[in-house]
């Protein structure tokens, strides 16, 4: 989300029962993103992918929350190459070496889950592979820094440090957000920051970690459609997003339940 949005509502902590409700849309999103890995190939259009996703979501009796959200015209955001975020699906076929971020929010019984993955159509340049791996690593390191007893600045600091070590920049205007009954709730989860600074992280918080990384200059502009945000220098971007839940003694990645993720954060599941 756009971090300039002033979310003034209070943080809504979730009970155990509410967390359980949020796992349902989260599991469906996880399954959808797993399924999509084999479908992102040269020649396919993002409109076809959008239609596939919408059918998948509806078949599971979930709602494609993004469709119609503030007038957004599709069930998924599809952001190829230099599109940083909020890309609208098109009828242009993916070319070999394109990278594409798919960002999807769904809900069941009014409870939301939000996740994004960057995929590669065919084989990409070494540079793009490096960017996608860096985005995964930055996201996971941010998640690992999100612990009860810490501060929200711990997350931004971890994301920023990891991105820089990987030779990438963070698009600072975009941030994660609380999630629950609403897609966007307090607090804002910045992707830059200082350890030990910011609001305390407490059990019951559910929020997203979703840094956008780029290889070039971290400056963006909005296209005339009012949605599509591209890098000014045309350099590619990559983003992963997970919905996570804070417990007293652990942090759960609701939208990615593979246990080994904590052991090897270099291991992007498909690269």
Residues that bind ligand MF3 (CB under 6 A): 1, 66, 69-70, 72, 77, 86, 103, 105, 114, 210, 241
Q: Which is nearer to ligand MF3, 89 or 236 (CB)?
A: 89
Residue pair 239/80 in contact (Cβ under 8 Å)? The answer is: no
Q: Which is nearer to ligand MF3, 19 or 29 (CB)?
A: 29
Closest CA to 78 of 263, 239, 268: 239
- Among 167-175, 199-207, 214-222, 238-246, the segment contacting Co ion (CB under 5 A): 238-246
CB 101 to ligand MF3: min, Å = 10
Q: Which is nearer to Co ion, 134 or 174 (CB)?
A: 174
CA separation, residue 190 to residues 10, 105, 139, 140 (Å): 17, 19, 12, 14
Name the CA dihedral angle for 104, 106, 112, 113, rounded to a multiple of 10 degrees. Answer: -40
Closest CA to 114 of 58, 54, 184, 205: 184
Residue pair 156/172 in contact (Cβ under 8 Å)? The answer is: no
Contact between 191 and Co ion per CB under 5 A: no
Contact between 30 and Co ion per CB under 5 A: no
Of the candidate residues 63, 114, 154, 160, the single one contacting Co ion (CB under 5 A): 114
Of the candidate residues 103, 154, 185, 252, the single one contacting Co ion (CB under 5 A): 103
Q: Which is nearer to ligand MF3, 69 or 270 (CB)?
A: 69
x/- mask, Co ion, residues 116-135, rule CB under 5 A, reads x-------------------
Residue pair 180/22 in contact (Cβ under 8 Å)? The answer is: yes
CB 77 to Co ion: min, Å = 7
Which 3-state string (H, E, C) describes 190-203? CCCCCCCCCCECCC
Name the CA dihedral angle for 35, 96, 214, 228, rounded to a multiple of 10 degrees. Answer: -80
Task: Catalog residues that contact Co ion under the rule CB under 5 A.
Answer: 103, 114, 116, 208, 241
């Amino acid at each position: 989300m756009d971090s300039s949005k002033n979310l003034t509502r209070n943080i809504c902590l979730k009970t155990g029962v509410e967390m359980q409700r949020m796992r349902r849309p989260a599991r469906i999103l996880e399954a959808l993103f797993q399924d999509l890995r084999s479908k992102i190939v040269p020649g396919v259009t993002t409109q076809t992918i959008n239609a596939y996703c919408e059918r998948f979501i509806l078949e599971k009796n979930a709602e494609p929350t993004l469709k119609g959200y503030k007038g957004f015209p599709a069930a998924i955001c599809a952001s190829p190459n230099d599109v940083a975020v909020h890309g609208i699906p098109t009828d242009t076929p993916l070319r070999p070496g394109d990278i594409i971020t798919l960002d999807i929010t769904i809900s069941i019984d009014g409870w939301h889950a939000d996740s994004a993955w960057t995929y590669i159509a065919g084989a990409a340049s070494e540079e793009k592979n490096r960017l996608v791996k860096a985005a995964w690593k930055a996201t996971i390191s941010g998640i690992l820094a999100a612990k009860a007893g810490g501060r929200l600045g711990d997350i931004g600091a971890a994301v920023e440090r990891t991105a820089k070590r990987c030779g990438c920049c963070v698009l600072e205007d975009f941030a994660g957000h609380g999630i629950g009954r609403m897609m966007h709730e307090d607090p804002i989860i910045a992707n830059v920051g200082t350890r030990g600074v910011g609001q305390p992280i407490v059990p019951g918080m559910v929020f997203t970690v979703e840094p956008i990384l780029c290889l070039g200059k971290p400056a963006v502009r909005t296209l005339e459609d009012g949605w599509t945000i591209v890098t000014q220098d045309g350099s590619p971007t990559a983003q992963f997003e997970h919905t996570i839940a804070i417990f007293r003694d652990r942090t759960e990645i609701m939208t990615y339940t593979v246990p080994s993720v904590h052991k090897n954060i270099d291991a992007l599941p498909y690269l």
